[in-house]
Chain A
Amino acid sequence: MAACRQRYKCGPIDLELICPGEDWRQRLEGVVAHYAVEWTERPLQLVVEVIRCSADTTRPATGNFLRCARFVADKTDLGVIATSMLGGWCEMDAEATYCRIFAPHGAENELMLDEVEQFITLALTLAWRRLGWIPLHAGAVSYGKFCSLICATSGGGKSTLVAALIRRGWQTLGDDKLLLRLDENGKPVITALTRHFNLHPRSSQWFPELGDMASLPPYSRWTEKRQVSIERVWPDRMRNTARPTHLIEVVRNRQACGMLISSVPKSQVLATLLRQVVIPEDQQFAREVLQTVAPTARSLSGVRLEIGENAYGSPEVLEPLERAAV
């Protein structure tokens, strides 16, 4: 089968994806196509090649660089290698410009695709880091000169809160994927990476403009969330860059009535922000993350938001939060 090549813009990365065939390209496109945000700086060229092969379990990585649910990765003199649960592996060069992903024949296809997607994400994050950007698993909203990072675990309510604030006039840089770095003056700056939200279908009970979400493409096969184009639903509410001023730590509290708001000390802001970034176990990489995240945390005002059941039933419930975040 002829290899299939396609280029994608992934933030500051110009990615060439080489797949074993068109069917693979179509199925892997979802993981790279939604990073197509505007970028003005010269991009880094990255080639990711997916290769079908026989399983090779003779050189398993140990996880001295990173340990994820479906793969472990090691740092070597030549770059980063990773091995997955199904016997796939990938090799990334030290310059983060070429990644070869080996997908064994015989592995159950959907699971193998998940693991290849994970390897592609690993390659992209290494390339972004190479350019000085730290991937930040947080949402962001802005209003005038104020910008709040929305921090919570997966499924913790980031997307719904961002959507609720958009409806009240805020702009957004995304609901859970951002890039962070310090500018030449040491000030933090964030950029958008995607133009989609991942929202649960029940969100339409609070935000009727979302319409029937059942027909929208699923975010992944592990969740009911759907991919929603921000600009389709809320035109002109996307922005690409901002300087964060606040951090909102979102936690669910079923006992809370509406929303409870309290301030957060600087030490807790740092702890919260560190939990939103992947910190490799390699000292050099870890130091680079700390050098960006710690000064950023120091510059932010912290707000803790406890969200009760059906908290979005009334839009006015967000007013105290808005006062705390500007």
Chain B
Amino acid sequence: MDTNQLLTNSESYALRPDVAVTIVGDGAVMLDLSTKFFYSLNQTGWALAQLFEDGATPAQVAEAAVTLGALAEDGDAIARFIGSLLSANLLEAGEAADVPQLPAYNGGWIEPTLEKHPEPLQRIMTSAFDPSIPLAE
């Protein structure tokens, strides 16, 4: 799907319910509980990703990005960001949403980023206290 196709896509997406998110400083950390991969988002990335919490279309997100200061030439960056959320499988098809409310945002426009940390967290632990990978007994 190219940029124009993605940003005119009227299908609604929402963050998967088994993705846990917390705000850190200006950005956020996302943990995919099904894969145990985790991600860091910058300030703009988190502002846009929040629009998917209740469901949003890529077109709605692109429109909201304009109010954050995005220009026409930033379309590729927005599409890349939404594409990275989709390819990381952090979004799923959602209900048709009302126009999403843009969260409070004080920063200027910078390219939204989603950084995937290379190694997932452990799936099986030694104990409820010790998250080390269990040794063979």
- The answer for the CA separation of A271 and B129 in the assembled complex, in Å, is 18
- The answer for the CA separation of A276 and B123 in the assembled complex, in Å, is 13
Across the interface, do A154 and B130 meet the contact criterion of CB distance under 8 Å? yes
Contacts of A279 in B (CB 8 A): 31, 33, 121, 131
Mask of B98-134 contacts with A, CB within 8 angstroms, 1/0 = 0000000000000000010101011111111111111
Interchain Cβ contacts within 8 Å, total number? 100
Contacts of B22 in A (CB 8 A): 287, 290-291, 294
Mask of A241-279 contacts with B, CB within 8 angstroms, 1/0 = 000000000000000000000000001001100111111
Chain B, Cβ-Cβ closest to A267: B40
- How far, in Å, is B89 (CB) from chain A's closest CB? 16
A283-B122 CB under 8 A given contacts A68-B134, A122-B128 = no
Contacts of B129 in A (CB 8 A): 121, 124-125, 135, 137, 177, 278
Interface residues on A, range: 35 or more
Chain A, Cβ-Cβ closest to B132: A154
Across the interface, do B124 and A125 meet the contact criterion of CB distance under 8 Å? no
- How far, in Å, is B23 (CB) from chain A's closest CB? 8
Chain B, Cβ-Cβ closest to A282: B33
Contacts of A290 in B (CB 8 A): 20-22, 29, 31
Residues of B within 8 A of A (CB): 17-22, 24-25, 29, 31, 33, 38, 40, 115, 117, 119, 121-135, 137
What are 17 residue pairs bridging A and B, where the CB atoms are less than 8 Å apart in the complex? A66-B128, A67-B124, A68-B125, A121-B127, A124-B129, A275-B121, A275-B131, A278-B129, A279-B33, A281-B33, A290-B20, A290-B21, A290-B29, A291-B22, A294-B24, A294-B29, A298-B25
